Structure 1
């Protein structure tokens, strides 16, 4: 069984609890053990670095240090947490002075940032460590009747100097997972675009326009649902869908799933077990 330290992101702890519920159901089916880091704290999103670079490095060195204490890689299921923590790790690993400075503070908790744990997304774990062939062999309810629009979101793709797994102009990992689960992906120009989440509070109209464009393309392409590896993208595309489409004068709707729920459905779990009733769009 492959073991990882699992980072509890704020959004999953509050608005998208069904995401972690889904992972809890099927992780053992794929010989995974995700050990929740209850001691971890908010990564600071994409904002803390601009307010206080040292605190940004410190809180994320602490998050990684908890994984290192267990001798495990740190796994996240939120794109922004991924980008944020990997950015902090890159800064720490390239500056002995910064590393020494944060470790002086961390030692008060009996922690030390060493730089030995990798920071990885759940999607990468499924493809690289579990493997698509193994996933195919575990499928109980193939998604063969569904046309699925993959929506990657920004922070699992860009900046590529921090992330570097998929081609940000033409990503394929989520498409590969969909196909391994028996689904059919659709040609979808918006799959690598922004959902608008990070401008929602300061420029709502523009943010919802961005979301509406992605939703409308999926609807016009006759997709049965959208799937995303990011709970922030899910929050916008599901929770703000009605408002976005109304603003764009589009009279339609489309369900949105997180990749953990899509995996759960293909592995035979029910919508009730996966908590899909929590979604805004039916």
Structure 2
């Protein structure tokens, strides 16, 4: 049976990280996964809406969830920030169904004023990583590998939201995660463990404490390099921006050359299952991905 999802691409993948949008589509096609894009969805707020109003964050994302509910499909995103925000709202509203129905009624009243369906709480919110591990399955993923990534040492960079925004996460331990490393193994790559893999990239600080943000990003990249990584792989486009797009600026702040490629998770998986690099937007990265492609024989 074909896996089908209500696809929430988020903002960054449709702008600054267009290659994430491109590579997710290519990977889904290669694996036979159907993505029904939620064209009417709005920004999740990236954690900022709640600074103004928790009701605002919950209502906006209740609407996003209802768009998936209308399709009777799970909501899928490839952005761990979107996963953390929407997934946490979903948890909170499902809890409100039992403990605070008046609050949920207020949200549904606001949705009704905008002509939206009420929140029912009958779907799930999941990141692409969880879909690969839990729905598609690691054994099937391994079976689909066309280009075994035997020469590649991959360092996961989980970031904050994927592991810590929700009360519980599927298929992993938020303190000692292994899901990305298990994906690497299924693809034939060697996982690299290092201190910063579950820490913050520094992106949330970048708008008001730029130096500290870049110092944080530099520390994580340096640790991965010291551990022998050929590349970082992240499930978060905001982490990608700080670790790849701003790596030249990070180098100036820390006074050291880094040059470590940073891949989006679907780019790595797609390479292994036979998608050509030109379909994955690898030429859009600031840090050249050419060393990775050369290791893989492209």
Tell me the TM-score normalized by structure 2: 0.91
CA apart distance, 1:165: 4.6
Distance 2:95 2:54 in 1: 14
8 Å contact kept, 1:8–1:40? no
Given the alignment, which residue of 126, 149, 173 partners 1:143?
Answer: 149
Give the deviation of 1:110 after TM superposition.
4.0
Cα distance in structure 1, aligned partners of 2:257 and 2:70: 52
Aligned to 1:218: 224
Output the aligned Cα RMSD. 1.3
SS at match of 1:94: helix
1:26, 1:162 → 2: CA distance? 27
Residues of 1 paired with 2:201 and 2:138: CA distance? 27
Query: 8 Å contact 2:30–2:275 — kept in the other structure?
Result: no
| Match for residue 193 of structure 1 among 185, 194, 199 | 199
Matches within 5 A, 1:85-234: 85-95=86-96, 96-108=101-113, 109-163=115-169, 165-234=171-240
CA distance in 1, matches of 2:235, 2:228: 21
| Separation in structure 2 between the aligned mates of residue 161 and residue 92 of structure 1, nearest angstrom | 13
SS in 2 for 1:106: helix
Identify the residue that residue 292 of structure 2 maps to in structure 1: none
119-128 or 265-274: bigger deviation: 265-274
Q: What are the Cα deviations for residues 2-27 of structure 1, in whole angstroms up to 9, with x where unaligned?
A: 11101120111111111111121121
Distance 1:51 1:281 in 2: 36
Look up the match of 1:249. Answer: 255
SS in 1 for 2:164: coil
Structure 1 segment 29-68 matched on structure 2, within 5 A: 29-68=30-69
Unaligned regions of 5+ residues in structure 2, if any? 289-298
Per mean C-alpha deviation after superposition, the further-off stretch among 103-112 and 7-16 is 103-112
1:162 positional shift: 4.8
Pair 232,126 (structure 1): closer, same or farther in 2 beyond 3 Å: same
Deviations 1:190-248 (A, max 9, x none): 11010011111011111111100111011222211110111111111001111112211
Cα drift, residue 59 of structure 1: 0.4
Which runs of structure 2 are paired with 1:259-270 in the superposition (5 Å)?
A: 259-270=265-276
Deviations 1:151-196 (A, max 9, x none): 1111110145154653222110000001111100112111101001
User: How many residue pairs align between the two structures?
Assistant: 282
Structure 1, gaps ≥5 residues long: none
Residue 84 of structure 1 pairs with residue 90 of structure 2: no
SS of the aligned residue for 1:128 comes to helix
* Alpha-carbon distance between aligned partners in 1 of 2:189 and 2:146, rounded to the nearest angstrom: 13
Contact 1:153 1:230 in 2 (8 A): yes
